[in-house]
């Protein structure tokens, strides 16, 4: 239990401890996990010299910049599947290992290789070659196998040996270790059984399949069990593939000799997967010490029927040189001494190649500016790579397995030794026969897998029966009757089929379709219009009217009490009925599935298809609605529905959909996704021509199509099943990431660019992001969009994968699933309503604030309540008027934009000032600024004081104001004040204005127009009100002739005690100069 706790804690250690630094100072930690056992070919002491040589070679080849790039640490696993992983954990936690070399034993390697993705540390090992479990790169993501793989030897058998000898029917016999439950032989032969297409490899002795696995318990084996195994095999096969211990295989052949199977009819193909485990790397032998010469002779003859498949032994000059270097280095460190000419075991050489491979991976990772501490980045650079190794060129496949070569051996009857008669090259999957194969007793012809007379000889048995003529006669009559019955049945089906074609009960009259308001096409109007014109032709609606792919309203109508969808057919004036169309319609009319949109019928003129209506719209609309949340179960349900629908289409007479898109996947009222736009290819070609050529919508509609269809100008409209698999992968990407088709909104690439990239031969695909919770579906998606159509899975395989991945939802039945979908959709709608309500309230508040800025709040309230605003009379108010002196001259010397900037700066300043006083801004007209106090809220006699203080503050601000485009010029304004009664009211319905009326407004305007620059001119009425406060400094100006008023004594407001004052230079500034006043007045 302690080591389980240690493993769990270690897996949770943070990965942020590895930080990319300067590569000139980096030393990479290599952890070697091997046992110390001289009986094993991968003994740690045997491997150490090879690793040292590899480290020196890395420096010699300048693969890494550091002078001492590797720090190698060794851990003794004792060949224990417990000790090995614990040592790996220790290396990871304490020494921050960068790569693991080993373990070699299967259980230990499986554990470490499963941990490594969590640690992001690569694992390189010669082990696990014949265990097909290690072929699963989704589980062992960072494992690289350096010796061989089960996939290569399986290809050797299925793609080279069997076709070369024209064998198709074989028998598989394997040894299984009952103590460990499995053995390498058992797993390898099980994989071979699957490779040859066996649906059942349970090893049952009565299995009718030609491929079976027979369990052999070596420890408790008896001659009776060997005999039974061979008895069962001999009646069903002539070619036997065998994998077991060499000594047991010798006994197996001796028993076959006793059963008369060493007669040239049987071939025993022995898979010697343990060859490299032997120190001398020799093949198995028929000779056995301590037995009689007669038994050895019997065994030798039996071995003449044997072909041996084994890993090719390295024999190049380069490998001999490498072995010499390893032995020399070992002899310097080991007193036992080793022959310099002795070839080292390939297990040792693989560790030399592993270090070089890791160095090349680091080199390529650093050159591409990626994180060389990230095992995933390094492994991607290690795979699909070739380099010079211990035995010449070492090639690593794109799945992380070394590409190995194999040899075929046959016994030379003269020498009694096995000789290489053929070589299989894994690089190009080619087999070359080097010598003629000796078949026992010098038979020149290759033994056949199925005898001409059958395994029991009954095919050649002749039995003479006196009643044979009557039997022949009876059989002939029966055959004739049977044939006539078939013909009659066929004729009846044919007549029935033709009757169904001619019935044409699918044709719908336009009068039977009742249009839906705001949705449907007005069929009644169209029909009347056709009668008025005296023509049966129909002008198709525009693309905008029929565009349902981009979210536009679906055309609907009511037919026999139900709502149906209308699919208008573009570029056709009417539907012409012919036999091809009748057969296509009958095909889809007979297709009934809950995962297909039901075809109801068609209108001939105007031409349209009538289908079942799906109220929730298309899948694309559902996915692009960010306000609808879809959990994993919901997404799995959507995917499941699509797969079921396409499987139904593939199993029907249509065989393919041809236009599978997320826009053609419609969502029903119960959230079941249904496939539409299937069948009737003679009409679909018109449906697909709905967009103008070279438009973005046109290219976007083609991005679901498979590359081979895009590149083929003569591709059939009905498509292909492999093309549907590609289209399904694009839909999967839309479902998983919900970022639109090819995520064009984020990548910035246009549909046209993507289309032409695919058409030119590039493997352009949507971006694959691994941070999604549905990453398993992501791997399925990548399989479905493979460039080669043959590499894409069929939908039966896809459905099985979906069922396996969705097992976590198995505890939820269909009703619960549907209810959860409905509940989730309801919650989304409630949140959407709440969000829209908040948005409305926010916009309402903004509108009210804007109205309060334009009109008084009391007036605004009455207008919003729908009341008529009546004018109101105010007994006493004070009105402020001001304008800019010389504004006409400034306007003539400035640009319009400069004038706008000047007025905006000035009135923004004024607006900020009036916020501090009990006043109301009435309006600004050009350079005139009008303010009033005492309305709309009455304030007694305070209105004169508020306006006066505001005027002094504004005048002080103007003195310090600077014009941006004329900084050296002093801006000057005239200010006029007057107090008295007035009437206020709202004028107009559009853009209503709050206006003041009365003589008080006119007098205030005269006070401003007859004033002087930078002076506050006021009437005696205002002066009388200010005298009540006894704080303002006022001086009489004298009599002023006001237009329409005659002579009037007016005053200057100079300031307020303990407050703002107008900065006059001398008293002469306030003397009335009538001529000067008139001049200034004319300047306005």
Dihedral angle, C-alpha 489, 494, 500, 501, nearest 10 °: 170
Residue 548 has pLDDT above 60, yes or no: no
Note the pLDDT tens digit of each residue in 299-336. Answer: 999 999 999 998 888 888 899 999 999 999 888 765 45
- The confidence score (pLDDT) of residue 321 equals 92
**At 453, is the pLDDT very low, low, confident or very high (cuts 50, 70, 90)?**
confident
Q: CA distances (Å), 378 to each of 28, 92, 779, 1058, in order?
A: 13, 17, 21, 81
- The confidence score (pLDDT) of residue 844 equals 75
Extract the runs of DSSP E, i.e. beta strands, from 220-367: 239-243, 267-271, 306-311
Extract the runs of DSSP E, i.e. beta strands, from 766-826: none
Mean predicted confidence (pLDDT) in 61-68: 80
Cis before 103? omega within 30: yes
Q: CA distances (Å), 31 to each of 14, 82, 103, 350, 1041, in order?
A: 20, 17, 10, 15, 108
Phi and psi angles of residue 568, each rounded to the nearest 5 degrees, phi first: -70, 140
Alpha helices in 383-446 (DSSP H): none
Residue 433 has pLDDT above 70, yes or no: yes
How many other β-carbons are positioned within 10 Å of the β-carbon of residue 66?
A: 15
- The confidence score (pLDDT) of residue 513 equals 82
DSSP letter for 225, please.
H
The SS3 of residue 153 is helix
Phi and psi angles of residue 612, each rounded to the nearest 5 degrees, phi first: -60, 140
- The confidence score (pLDDT) of residue 188 equals 84
- The confidence score (pLDDT) of residue 11 equals 47
The answer to whether 27 and 66 are in contact (CB under 8 A) is yes
> Between 181 and 541, where is the model more confident?
181
> Between 311 and 826, where is the model more confident?
311
C-alpha–C-alpha distance, residues 122 and 99, integer Å: 5
Topology of domain 150-315+407-442, CATH = Rossmann fold (3.40.50)
Topology of domain 868-1083, CATH = Alpha-Beta Plaits (3.30.70)
The answer to whether 784 and 766 are in contact (CB under 8 A) is no
Residue 72 has pLDDT above 90, yes or no: yes
Residue 527 has pLDDT above 60, yes or no: no
- The confidence score (pLDDT) of residue 879 equals 94
Q: What angle do CA 541, 546, 547 make, to 5 degrees?
A: 140
- The confidence score (pLDDT) of residue 201 equals 44
Residue 1078 has pLDDT above 50, yes or no: no
The answer to whether 117 and 141 are in contact (CB under 8 A) is yes
Residue 63 has pLDDT above 80, yes or no: yes
Q: Which helix (DSSP H) or strand (DSSP E) does residue 564 occupy?
A: strand 562-568
Q: Which two tokens stand for residue 474?
A: 């009876």
C-alpha–C-alpha distance, residues 895 and 885, integer Å: 18
Residue 749 has pLDDT above 60, yes or no: yes
**Strand pairing report for 28-34 and 99-101:** parallel
State the angle between helix axes of 317-333 and 346-367 in degrees (0 to 180), rounded to the nearest 10: 100
Mean predicted confidence (pLDDT) in 432-452: 85
Note the pLDDT tens digit of each residue in 106-155. Answer: 889 999 999 999 999 999 999 888 888 888 889 999 999 998 888 888 88
C-alpha–C-alpha distance, residues 993 and 985, integer Å: 8
Alpha helices in 504-627 (DSSP H): 523-533, 579-589, 619-624
- The confidence score (pLDDT) of residue 835 equals 78
- The confidence score (pLDDT) of residue 952 equals 92
Q: Which residues pair with 144 in a beta bridge?
A: 124
Q: Cα 242 vs. chain centroid, distance in angstroms?
A: 45
Q: Is 799 exposed, middle or buried (0-12, 13-18, 19+ CB in 10 A)?
A: middle
The answer to whether 11 and 115 are in contact (CB under 8 A) is yes
Residue 247 has pLDDT above 50, yes or no: yes
Q: What's the chain's length in residues? A: 1084
- The confidence score (pLDDT) of residue 571 equals 63
The answer to whether 213 and 241 are in contact (CB under 8 A) is no
C-alpha–C-alpha distance, residues 547 and 921, integer Å: 53
Q: Which residue has the tokens 């009211």?
A: 985
Note the pLDDT tens digit of each residue in 1003-1026. Answer: 998 888 889 999 999 999 999 999
Q: Which two tokens stand for residue 107?
A: 């259980």
Sign of the four-CA dihedral 83, 89, 94, 100: positive
Residue 465 has pLDDT above 70, yes or no: no
Q: Which two tokens stand for residue 966?
A: 């004329």
C-alpha–C-alpha distance, residues 754 and 883, integer Å: 63
The SS3 of residue 1024 is helix
| No. of helices (H) and no. of strands (E), the chain | 34, 31
Residue 194 has pLDDT above 90, yes or no: no
Note the pLDDT tens digit of each residue in 466-516. Answer: 676 788 888 888 989 999 889 888 888 777 767 666 667 788 888 888 765
Mean predicted confidence (pLDDT) in 560-589: 80
State the angle between helix axes of 83-95 and 106-119 in degrees (0 to 180), rounded to the nearest 10: 30
Q: Which two tokens stand for residue 1056?
A: 């307020």
**At 209, is the pLDDT very low, low, confident or very high (cuts 50, 70, 90)?**
very low
How many other β-carbons are positioned within 10 Å of the β-carbon of residue 298?
A: 18
* Percent of the chain whose predicted confidence (pLDDT) is above 90: 28
Q: CA distances (Å), 454 to each of 162, 232, 347, 1012, 1069, in order?
A: 20, 15, 45, 129, 136
Sign of the four-CA dihedral 621, 623, 624, 626: positive
The answer to whether 41 and 342 are in contact (CB under 8 A) is no
What is the DSSP code string of 7-69? HHHHHTS-STT-----GGG--EEEEEEE---TTSTT-HHHHHHHHHHHHHHHHHTT-SSSSS-
Q: Which helix (DSSP H) or strand (DSSP E) does residue 71 occupy?
A: strand 70-76
Note the pLDDT tens digit of each residue in 372-429. Answer: 999 999 999 999 999 999 988 999 999 999 998 999 999 998 888 999 999 998 888 8
Average pLDDT, the chain: 81
**At 203, is the pLDDT very low, low, confident or very high (cuts 50, 70, 90)?**
very low
**At 566, is the pLDDT very low, low, confident or very high (cuts 50, 70, 90)?**
confident
**At 631, is the pLDDT very low, low, confident or very high (cuts 50, 70, 90)?**
confident
Residue 526 has pLDDT above 60, yes or no: no
Region of 374 please: left (phi>0), alpha (psi -120 to 50) or beta. Answer: beta
**At 92, is the pLDDT very low, low, confident or very high (cuts 50, 70, 90)?**
very high
C-alpha–C-alpha distance, residues 269 and 309, integer Å: 7
Mean predicted confidence (pLDDT) in 265-277: 86
Note the pLDDT tens digit of each residue in 332-363. Answer: 765 454 555 588 889 999 999 999 999 999 99
Q: Which two tokens stand for residue 1046?
A: 């005659």
Mean predicted confidence (pLDDT) in 654-662: 90
Residue 585 has pLDDT above 70, yes or no: yes
Mean predicted confidence (pLDDT) in 250-255: 90
Mean predicted confidence (pLDDT) in 250-271: 91
**At 595, is the pLDDT very low, low, confident or very high (cuts 50, 70, 90)?**
very high
Residue 547 has pLDDT above 80, yes or no: no
Note the pLDDT tens digit of each residue in 795-813. Answer: 999 998 888 887 766 555 5
How many other β-carbons are positioned within 10 Å of the β-carbon of residue 990?
A: 4
The answer to whether 465 and 474 are in contact (CB under 8 A) is no
Q: Which residue has the tokens 């719908």?
A: 508
Q: Is 563 exposed, middle or buried (0-12, 13-18, 19+ CB in 10 A)?
A: middle
C-alpha–C-alpha distance, residues 44 and 50, integer Å: 10
- The confidence score (pLDDT) of residue 411 equals 92
**At 965, is the pLDDT very low, low, confident or very high (cuts 50, 70, 90)?**
confident
How many other β-carbons are positioned within 10 Å of the β-carbon of residue 308?
A: 21
Q: Which residue from 1079, 1052, 935 is spatially nearest to 997, judged by alpha carbons? A: 935
The CATH architecture assigned to 2-148+317-402 reads 3-Layer(aba) Sandwich (3.40)
Note the pLDDT tens digit of each residue in 5-56. Answer: 444 444 444 443 343 444 556 889 999 999 998 888 889 999 999 999 999 9
- Cα distance from N-terminal residue to C-terminal residue, the chain: 99
The answer to whether 64 and 359 are in contact (CB under 8 A) is yes
Q: Which residue from 781, 476, 837, 500 is spatially nearest to 642, judged by alpha carbons? A: 781
Sign of the four-CA dihedral 79, 80, 81, 83: negative
- The confidence score (pLDDT) of residue 106 equals 86
Mean predicted confidence (pLDDT) in 925-935: 88
> Between 598 and 860, where is the model more confident?
598
Topology of domain 510-811, CATH = Transferase(Phosphotransferase); domain 1 (1.10.510)
When computed from its CA atoms, the radius of gyration of the chain, rounded to whole angstroms, is: 47
C-alpha–C-alpha distance, residues 648 and 642, integer Å: 10
Q: pTM for this one? A: 0.45
- The confidence score (pLDDT) of residue 644 equals 93
Q: Is 983 exposed, middle or buried (0-12, 13-18, 19+ CB in 10 A)?
A: middle
């Amino acid at each position: 239990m302690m080591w389980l706790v240690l493993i769990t804690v270690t897996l949770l250690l943070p990965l942020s401890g590895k930080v990319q630094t300067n590569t000139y100072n980096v030393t990479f930690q290599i952890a070697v996990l091997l046992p110390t056992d001289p009986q094993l070919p991968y003994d740690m002491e045997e491997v150490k010299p090879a690793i040292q040589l590899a480290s020196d070679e890395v420096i010699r080849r300048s693969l890494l910049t550091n002078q001492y790039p590797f720090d190698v640490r060794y851990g003794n696993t004792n060949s224990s599947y417990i000790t090995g992983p614990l040592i790996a954990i220790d290396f990871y936690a304490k020494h921050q290992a960068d790569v693991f070399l080993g373990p070699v034993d299967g259980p230990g390697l499986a554990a470490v290789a499963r941990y490594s993705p969590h640690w992001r540390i690569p694992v390189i090992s010669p082990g696990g070659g014949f265990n097909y479990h290690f072929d699963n790169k989704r589980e062992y993501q960072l494992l690289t196998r350096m010796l061989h793989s089960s996939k290569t030897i399986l290809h050797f058998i299925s793609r080279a040996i069997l076709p070369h000898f024209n064998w198709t029917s074989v028998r598989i016999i394997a040894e299984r270790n009952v103590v460990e439950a499995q053995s390498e032989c058992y797993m390898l032969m099980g994989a071979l059984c699957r490779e040859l297409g066996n649906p059942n490899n349970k090893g049952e002795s009565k299995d009718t399949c030609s491929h079976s696995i027979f369990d052999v318990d070596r420890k408790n084996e008896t001659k009776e069990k060997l005999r039974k195994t061979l008895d069962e095999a001999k009646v069903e096969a002539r070619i036997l593939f065998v994998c077991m211990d060499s000594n047991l295989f010798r006994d197996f052949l001796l028993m076959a000799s006793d059963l008369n199977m060493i007669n040239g009819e049987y071939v025993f193909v022995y898979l010697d997967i343990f060859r490299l485990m032997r120190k001398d790397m020799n093949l198995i032998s028929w000779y056995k010490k301590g037995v009689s010469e007669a038994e050895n002779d019997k065994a030798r003859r039996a071995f003449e029927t044997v072909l041996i498949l084994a890993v090719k032994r390295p024999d190049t000059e380069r490998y001999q040189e490498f072995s010499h270097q390893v032995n020399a280095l070992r002899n310097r460190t080991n007193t036992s001494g080793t022959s310099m000419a002795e070839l080292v075991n390939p297990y040792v050489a693989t560790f030399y190649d592993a270090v070089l491979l890791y160095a090349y991976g680091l080199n390529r990772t650093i050159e591409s500016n990626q994180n060389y501490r990230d095992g995933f980045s390094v492994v991607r650079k290690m795979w699909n790579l070739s380099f010079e190794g211990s035995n010449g060129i070492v090639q690593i496949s794109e799945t992380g397995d070394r590409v190995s070569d194999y040899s075929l051996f046959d016994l030379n009857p003269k020498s009694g030794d096995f000789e290489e008669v053929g070589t299989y090259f894994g690089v190009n999957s080619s087999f070359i026969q080097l010598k003629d194969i000796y078949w026992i007793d010098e038979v020149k012809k290759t033994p056949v897998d199925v005898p001409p007379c059958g395994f029991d000889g009954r095919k050649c048995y002749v039995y003479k029966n006196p009643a044979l003529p009557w039997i022949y006669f009876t059989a002939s009559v029966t055959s004739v009757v049977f044939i006539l019955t078939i013909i009659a049945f066929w004729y009846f089906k044919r007549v029935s089929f033709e009757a169904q074609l001619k019935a044409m009960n699918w044709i719908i009259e336009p009068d039977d379709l009742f249009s839906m308001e705001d949705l449907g096409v007005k069929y009644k109007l169209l029909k009347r219009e056709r009668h008025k014109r005296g023509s049966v032709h129909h002008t198709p609606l525009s693309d905008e009217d029929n565009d349902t792919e981009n979210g536009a309203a679906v055309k609907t109508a009511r037919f026999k009490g139900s709502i149906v969808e209308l699919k208008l057919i573009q570029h056709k004036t009417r539907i012409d009925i012919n036999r091809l169309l009748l057969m296509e319609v009958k095909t889809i009319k007979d297709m009934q599935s809950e995962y297909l949109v039901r075809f109801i019928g068609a209108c001939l003129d105007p031409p349209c298809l009538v289908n079942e209506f799906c109220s929730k719209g298309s899948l694309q609309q559902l996915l692009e609605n960010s306000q609808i949340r879809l959990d994993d179960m919901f997404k799995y349900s959507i995917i499941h529905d699509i797969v079921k629908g396409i499987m139904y289409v593939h199993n029907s007479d249509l065989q393919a959909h041809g236009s599978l898109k997320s826009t053609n996947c419609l969502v029903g009222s119960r959230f079941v996704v249904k496939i539409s736009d299937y069948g009737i290819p003679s009409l679909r070609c018109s449906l697909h021509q709905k967009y103008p050529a070279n438009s973005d919508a046109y290219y976007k509609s083609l991005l679901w199509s498979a590359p081979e269809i895009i590149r083929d100008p003569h591709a059939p409209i009905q498509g292909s099943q492999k093309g549907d698999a590609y289209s399904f992968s694009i839909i999967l990407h839309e479902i998983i990431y919900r970022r639109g088709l090819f995520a064009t909104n984020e990548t910035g690439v246009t549909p046209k660019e993507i289309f032409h990239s695919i058409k030119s031969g590039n493997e352009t695909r949507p971006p694959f992001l691994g941070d999604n919770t549905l990453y398993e579906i992501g791997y399925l998606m990548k399989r479905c969009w493979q460039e080669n159509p043959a590499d894409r899975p069929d939908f039966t395989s896809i459905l099985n994968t979906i069922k396996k991945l969705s097992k976590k939802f198995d505890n939820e039945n269909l009703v619960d699933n549907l209810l959860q979908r409905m509940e989730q959709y309801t919650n989304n709608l409630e949140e959407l309503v709440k969000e829209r309500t908040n948005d409305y309230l926010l916009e309402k508040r903004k509108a009210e604030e804007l109205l309060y800025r334009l009109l008084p709040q009391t007036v605004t309230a009455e207008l919003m309540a729908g009341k008529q605003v009546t004018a109101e009379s105010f007994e006493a108010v004070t009105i402020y008027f001001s304008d800019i002196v010389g504004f006409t001259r400034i306007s003539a010397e400035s640009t319009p934009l400069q004038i706008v900037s000047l007025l905006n700066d000035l009135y923004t300043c004024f607006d900020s000032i009036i916020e501090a006083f009990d006043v109301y801004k009435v309006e600004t007209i050009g350079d005139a600024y009008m303010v009033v106090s005492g309305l709309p809220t009455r304030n007694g006699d305070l209105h004169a004081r508020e306006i006066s203080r505001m005027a002094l503050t504004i005048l002080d601000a103007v003195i310090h104001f600077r014009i941006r485009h004329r900084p050296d010029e002093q801006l000057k304004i005239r200010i006029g004040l007057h107090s008295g009664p007035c009437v206020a009211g709202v004028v107009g319905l559009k853009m209503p204005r709050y206006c003041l009326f009365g003589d008080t407004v006119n007098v205030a305007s005269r006070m401003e127009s007859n004033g002087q620059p930078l002076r506050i001119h006021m009437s005696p009425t205002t002066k009388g009100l200010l005298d009540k406060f006894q704080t303002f400094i006022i001086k009489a100006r004298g009599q002023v002739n006001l237009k329409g008023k005659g002579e009037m004594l007016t005053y200057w407001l100079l300031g307020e005690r303990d407050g703002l004052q107008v900065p006059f230079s001398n008293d002469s500034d306030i003397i009335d100069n009538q001529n000067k006043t008139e001049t200034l007045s004319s300047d306005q």
